[in-house]
Amino acid sequence: MTDLIKQTADDILRICRPEKIILFAEKRTMATGKLKALSLCVIVPDDVDCRKLRPRLHLAISADVPVNLSVYTAEEWEDLCADGTSYAAWIARKGQVIYESTT
Protein backbone atom coordinates (compact mmCIF):
# COMPACT_ATOMS: atom_id res chain seq x y z
CA MET A 1 0.00 0.00 0.00
CA THR A 2 1.42 3.38 -0.97
CA ASP A 3 1.83 6.22 1.51
CA LEU A 4 -0.89 8.16 -0.33
CA ILE A 5 -3.41 5.34 0.05
CA LYS A 6 -2.48 4.89 3.72
CA GLN A 7 -2.85 8.64 4.34
CA THR A 8 -6.26 8.63 2.65
CA ALA A 9 -7.40 5.74 4.85
CA ASP A 10 -6.11 7.62 7.92
CA ASP A 11 -8.02 10.74 6.81
CA ILE A 12 -11.21 8.66 6.62
CA LEU A 13 -10.56 7.14 10.04
CA ARG A 14 -10.28 10.62 11.57
CA ILE A 15 -13.87 11.36 10.47
CA CYS A 16 -15.66 8.05 11.06
CA ARG A 17 -15.24 4.50 12.29
CA PRO A 18 -15.92 2.34 9.24
CA GLU A 19 -16.26 -1.40 9.42
CA LYS A 20 -14.15 -1.73 6.30
CA ILE A 21 -12.32 0.30 3.65
CA ILE A 22 -11.72 -1.35 0.29
CA LEU A 23 -9.40 -0.08 -2.44
CA PHE A 24 -10.97 -1.11 -5.74
CA ALA A 25 -9.29 1.02 -8.39
CA GLU A 26 -6.02 2.82 -8.92
CA LYS A 27 -5.29 4.93 -11.97
CA ARG A 28 -1.61 5.41 -12.78
CA THR A 29 0.30 7.26 -15.48
CA MET A 30 1.66 5.02 -18.23
CA ALA A 31 5.09 6.64 -18.35
CA THR A 32 5.97 6.77 -14.65
CA GLY A 33 3.41 4.59 -12.90
CA LYS A 34 2.64 7.50 -10.59
CA LEU A 35 -0.77 7.28 -8.90
CA LYS A 36 -3.16 9.83 -10.41
CA ALA A 37 -6.56 8.72 -8.99
CA LEU A 38 -8.01 6.08 -6.71
CA SER A 39 -11.38 4.63 -5.75
CA LEU A 40 -12.34 3.49 -2.28
CA CYS A 41 -15.40 1.83 -0.81
CA VAL A 42 -16.22 2.72 2.80
CA ILE A 43 -18.60 0.47 4.72
CA VAL A 44 -20.02 2.07 7.84
CA PRO A 45 -22.32 0.94 10.66
CA ASP A 46 -26.05 0.92 9.92
CA ASP A 47 -26.76 3.98 12.09
CA VAL A 48 -24.59 6.27 9.91
CA ASP A 49 -26.20 8.57 7.33
CA CYS A 50 -24.11 7.94 4.20
CA ARG A 51 -25.45 11.02 2.40
CA LYS A 52 -24.20 13.30 5.17
CA LEU A 53 -20.95 11.41 5.66
CA ARG A 54 -19.76 11.31 2.04
CA PRO A 55 -19.15 15.08 1.66
CA ARG A 56 -17.44 15.21 5.06
CA LEU A 57 -15.08 12.48 3.92
CA HIS A 58 -14.30 14.24 0.65
CA LEU A 59 -13.45 17.43 2.54
CA ALA A 60 -11.22 15.54 4.99
CA ILE A 61 -9.18 13.68 2.39
CA SER A 62 -5.81 15.37 1.92
CA ALA A 63 -4.71 13.40 -1.16
CA ASP A 64 -3.40 15.44 -4.05
CA VAL A 65 -5.16 13.14 -6.54
CA PRO A 66 -8.89 12.64 -7.17
CA VAL A 67 -10.50 10.11 -4.82
CA ASN A 68 -13.78 8.45 -5.75
CA LEU A 69 -15.78 7.25 -2.73
CA SER A 70 -18.56 4.70 -2.60
CA VAL A 71 -20.14 4.68 0.87
CA TYR A 72 -22.52 1.97 2.08
CA THR A 73 -24.01 0.96 5.41
CA ALA A 74 -23.22 -2.59 6.49
CA GLU A 75 -26.80 -3.67 5.77
CA GLU A 76 -26.76 -2.11 2.29
CA TRP A 77 -23.41 -3.76 1.62
CA GLU A 78 -24.63 -7.22 2.64
CA ASP A 79 -27.83 -6.89 0.59
CA LEU A 80 -26.01 -5.64 -2.50
CA CYS A 81 -23.23 -8.23 -2.27
CA ALA A 82 -25.87 -10.96 -2.25
CA ASP A 83 -26.67 -9.89 -5.82
CA GLY A 84 -23.64 -11.04 -7.80
CA THR A 85 -24.39 -8.55 -10.57
CA SER A 86 -24.28 -5.45 -8.33
CA TYR A 87 -21.47 -2.90 -8.24
CA ALA A 88 -20.91 -3.71 -4.56
CA ALA A 89 -20.46 -7.41 -5.38
CA TRP A 90 -17.90 -6.48 -8.06
CA ILE A 91 -16.04 -4.31 -5.53
CA ALA A 92 -16.07 -7.18 -3.01
CA ARG A 93 -14.63 -9.57 -5.63
CA LYS A 94 -12.00 -7.27 -7.14
CA GLY A 95 -11.09 -4.91 -4.31
CA GLN A 96 -8.39 -5.09 -1.66
CA VAL A 97 -9.35 -4.53 1.97
CA ILE A 98 -7.00 -1.87 3.33
CA TYR A 99 -8.74 -1.43 6.70
CA GLU A 100 -11.04 -3.66 8.71
CA SER A 101 -12.44 -2.91 12.16
CA THR A 102 -11.44 -5.36 14.84
CA THR A 103 -14.61 -4.89 16.86
What pLDDT does residue 16 have?
97
What pLDDT does residue 1 have?
74
What pLDDT does residue 2 have?
87
Ordered domains of the chain (ranges, CATH)? 3-100 (3.30.460.10)
Contact 23, 70 (CB under 8 A): no
Beta bridge partners of 23: 40, 96
pLDDT tens digits, residue range 5-43?
A: 999 999 999 999 999 999 999 999 889 888 899 999 999
pLDDT tens digits, residue range 55-91?
A: 999 999 999 999 999 999 999 999 999 999 999 999 9
Across the range 95-100, mean pLDDT stands at 97
Q: Cα–Cα distance between 101 and 103 in angstroms, integer?
A: 6
